[in-house]
């Protein structure tokens, strides 16, 4: 069959690198139009693309998928704290950190309409700080999202998908713990976001990009002691995120992807009982490399590795993603 439609296999590796980019599966089927001598290969390829619909296409109405993901990140940092040692006298402490985060996540997707997909991600988080020898295990922040494709896919043109997200503070909040003795599994606040994803096929390459904005809601009613002062309110600050990259199909069974992901967080505001202070803006930038492998006709494994480019980014990133069999939940 040659390499016709090979670019669509490249999109398999985006399951880790870019979890929201959407492309209509009908276009993949059109690109894989059958010839006389390739019926078996085409059938296998269609099954591969159907298994990858969770991230790159919108599910058909009534369809359901469940995906398991494992992620590891390591971040070294030095936390600066001011501690009151006398009347209006403060001492500055430098606390080294080396946090290792292990996340097991389950993502459920459901096709509301042919062009609208609902997703829910449930993360289970384990953290360990090797410098301070403290750890925590528990539920992370659950996230909900909707992906909508307003225009039908047209071969030879970019595909656009709009998305909206809602983050729920179901994990342990960093504002409800003793930060010198405990670790948090969540952000501690609600967040609302939205954005636009784009992908464009130039066989055998897929170009993709994303632009989004997230508003993090303020956290009030706090009574956390930090540096000898009581913290009462936190305004986390909004976040702008951007990503771009490409995927390349090496064969029908293997594809590679490279992506650049960046997020800029605006200044947070901390309100104490006696004064308010602004934090610093943060910019996180990550280079990510992914490998997608079809180990069975309907089973695709995606692995990724990445590293941070700024001080506000994780030093090391590793990930694994694979589909789970939920045939009993599928629509008849």
Write down the pLDDT at residue 65. 87
Write down the pLDDT at residue 171. 94
Write down the pLDDT at residue 211. 95
User: DSSP labels for 70-118?
Assistant: EEEEEEEEEEEEEEEEETTEEEEEEEEEEEEEEEEEEEEEEEEETTEEE
Query: Is the residue at 145 inside a domain?
Result: yes
pLDDT tens by residue, 43-84:
333 333 333 333 445 788 888 889 999 999 998 765 555 545
pLDDT tens by residue, 9-40:
444 444 334 444 343 334 433 333 333 333 33
By C-alpha distance, which of 164, 103, 165, 170 is closest to 142? 170
By C-alpha distance, which of 265, 269, 97 is closest to 183? 97
Which one has a higher pLDDT value, 247 or 121?
A: 121
Q: What CA–CA distance (Å, rounded) separates 11 from 273?
A: 51
Query: Is the residue at 239 inside a domain?
Result: yes
The phi, psi pair for 181, rounded to 5°, reads -125, -15
CATH code for the domain of 86? 2.40.160.40
Query: Is the residue at 267 inside a domain?
Result: yes
- Beta-bridge mates of residue 287: 260, 307
Query: Is the residue at 1 inside a domain?
Result: no
* Residue 154 CA: distances (Å) to CA of 21, 204, 272, 281, 296: 16, 17, 55, 41, 30
Peptide bond into 204 cis (omega under 30): yes
By C-alpha distance, which of 315, 322, 263, 266 is closest to 291? 322
Q: In Å, how far from its chain's centre is CA 216?
A: 16
* Number of structural domains the chain divides into: 1
Query: Is the residue at 78 inside a domain?
Result: yes
Category of 149 on φ-ψ map: left (φ > 0), alpha (ψ -120 to 50) or beta: beta
The structure tokens listed for 298 are 């309907």
Query: Is the residue at 140 inside a domain?
Result: yes
Write down the pLDDT at residue 94. 43
Which range of residues forms the domain containing residue 238? 6-329
Q: What CA–CA distance (Å, rounded) separates 216 from 2?
A: 49
């Amino acid at each position: 069959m040659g390499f016709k439609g090979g670019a669509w296999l490249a999109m398999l590796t985006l399951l880790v690198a870019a979890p929201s980019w959407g492309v209509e599966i009908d276009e993949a089927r059109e690109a894989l139009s059958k010839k006389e001598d390739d019926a078996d290969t085409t059938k296998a390829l269609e099954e591969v693309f159907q298994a990858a619909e969770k991230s790159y296409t919108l599910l058909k109405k009534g369809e359901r998928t469940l995906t398991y993901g494992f992620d590891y990140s390591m971040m070294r940092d030095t936390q600066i704290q001011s501690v009151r040692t006398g009347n209006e006298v403060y001492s500055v402490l430098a606390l080294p950190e080396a946090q290792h985060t292990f996340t097991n996540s389950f993502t459920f997707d459901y096709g509301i309409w042919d062009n609208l997909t609902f997703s829910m991600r449930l993360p289970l988080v384990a953290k360990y700080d090797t410098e301070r020898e403290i750890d925590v295990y528990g539920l992370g922040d659950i996230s909900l999202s909707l992906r909508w494709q307003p225009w039908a896919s047209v071969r030879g043109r970019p595909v656009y998908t709009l998305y909206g997200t809602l983050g729920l503070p179901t994990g342990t909040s960093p504002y409800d713990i003793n930060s010198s003795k405990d670790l948090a599994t969540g952000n501690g606040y609600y967040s609302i976001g939205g954005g636009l994803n784009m992908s464009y096929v130039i066989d055998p390459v897929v170009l993709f990009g994303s632009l989004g904005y997230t508003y993090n809601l303020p956290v009030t009613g706090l009574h956390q002691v930090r540096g000898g002062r009581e913290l009462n309110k936190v305004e986390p600050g909004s976040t702008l995120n951007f990503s771009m990259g490409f995927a390349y199909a090496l064969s029908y069974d293997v594809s590679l992807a490279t992506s650049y992901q960046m997020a800029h967080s605006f200044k947070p505001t901390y309100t104490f009982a006696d004064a308010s202070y602004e934090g610093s803006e943060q910019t996180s930038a990550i280079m990510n490399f992914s490998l997608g492998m079809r180990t069975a006709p309907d089973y695709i494994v995606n692995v990724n590795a990445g590293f941070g480019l700024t001080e506000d980014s994780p030093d090391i990133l590793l990930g694994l993603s694979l589909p789970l069999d939920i045939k009993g939940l599928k629509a008849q």
